Structure 1
């Protein structure tokens, strides 16, 4: 029984970490898009 519980806990932790990573990547994505837009606007001027 405890073995199953440990595996479940580990799986939950992995999922949690993965979700945090996804959130960080989304943040990075937004920043990258903003930078790209700025760069394109500069090269157009």
Structure 2
């Protein structure tokens, strides 16, 4: 929750939850949403799938 709160200025709270979880687990955030991928870049590893 702390990391999610820290990310709130860079990305939405909803996106921050997923980014913080991916970061905590050491796994990439996998998404088909290009906007979410761009928002989370720099916060955690991101894999955009088509």
TM-score > 0.5 by shorter chain: no
TM category (shorter chain) comes to 0.3 to 0.5
TM-score normalised to structure 1 length:
0.32
Name the structure with the higher strand share: 2
Whose radius of gyration is greater, 1 or 2? 1
The answer to which structure has the higher helix fraction is: 1
